[in-house]
Structure 1
Amino acid sequence: MERNGEKGFWLYDLRVETVVGDRHAVCRHVEGEVFRVIGENLVFDGPAKVPMYALVGILPHLPARQRETDPDDWMSTDAEIACADPHCGGRFRIVREGRRWFSHAETTGLPEARSTPYWKDEQ
C-alpha cells in the first residue's frame, strides 16, 4: 500500500481491558484495568498489571487485531478473549481505536530497504 508515494501499512491502535464475568478469576484480573497496543508497543495506563501467563494467551491475537480484516471475520466481530488458564474467569476485551501509518522503510529489517526506525523519530 502506498501513501504519498511511500510504501507502508496501517495498524489499528488497540485498547485491551480486563473483564471478569460470573466465573472466579484465578489469575490476577482486575476489572477495568487497561493497556494499549500502539504499533509494536504495549503501553500500560497507570498502575495496570497483567499476569504474564494470561498475556501469553492473548499475545498472538494482538498483531492480527491490529490489521484490517474482513467485516465478517471473527477477528472483526468477537471482542473478548479468555484467559489462557481454563479454570480462570478472566477475559480481555480488545477494542480497535485509531489507525496509524507505518512506513515500510522505517520498520523493515532488510538493510537495503531501511531508513531511520520510526521509534527514533518519536524521541
Structure 2
Amino acid sequence: MAEDFDGSDRVAAAEAGDGFWLYDLKVETVLDGRTPVCRHVEGESFTVEGEALVFHAGQRVSMYALAAVLPLLPAKQRPTSSNDWMSTDAEVACPDPHCGGRFRITRTKKRWFSHSETTGLPDQRSTPYWQKDEAE
C-alpha cells in the first residue's frame, strides 16, 4: 500500500525486496521576471502522487509544456545520488524557445509502494494500492 513509511511491516517488506520508494512531486510554474509567451501563471502547480497527476481547483498547465515535463517525472520520483543531475537540477523550460516559462519540480515526501500492489503481472498482483483503502 502506498503510504508514508512508519511501521515495522514496511521494514519487513523492504527487507523482503517487495517494494520501493517514490517521491511525491510538486511541479510549479516559475517566471522569475521572464516574460511568458504561452499561458503560464506564476505559482500555478500540480502534484504527482504515485502515478497520479493531481490538479487543484483552478490550476492549469499548458498541454505543450506538460509534454516537456512528463518524461522527467518518473525519474524525479526515484531516489538518486546527490551528485546526479536529476537530484540537483529542478527547472524545465517551456518547449517554446521564445517563452520565459519554467517549471520547477520539487521532491516533497516519500511514499512506500509494494511491488504486488503496483504490478500488472497476473501472478504477482494483490489489491492495487489506489484501491487498498476502499477494500479495508
Deviation at 1:103, TM superposition (A): 0.4
Unaligned segments of structure 2, at least 5 residues: 1-9
Q: Deviation above 3 Å: which 4+ runs of structure 1? A: none
Tell me the residue number matched to 2:28: 17
Structure showing the higher strand proportion among its residues:
1
In the alignment of these two chains, the number of paired residues is 122
Tell me the residue number matched to 1:86: 97
Tell me the residue number matched to 1:45: 56
Instruction: Check if 1:73 corresponds to 2:77.
Output: no
Overall identity of the aligned pairs, in % = 64
- Name the amino acid aligned to 2:100: G
Unaligned segments of structure 1, at least 5 residues: none
Tell me the residue number matched to 2:3: none
Normalised to the residue count of structure 2, the TM-score between the two structures is: 0.84
Cα deviation code 1:14-51 (max 9, x no counterpart): 01110113432111100001110000001112210001
Deviation at 1:89, TM superposition (A): 0.7
Normalised to the residue count of structure 1, the TM-score between the two structures is: 0.93
Distance between the aligned counterparts of 2:68 and 2:107, measured in 1?
18
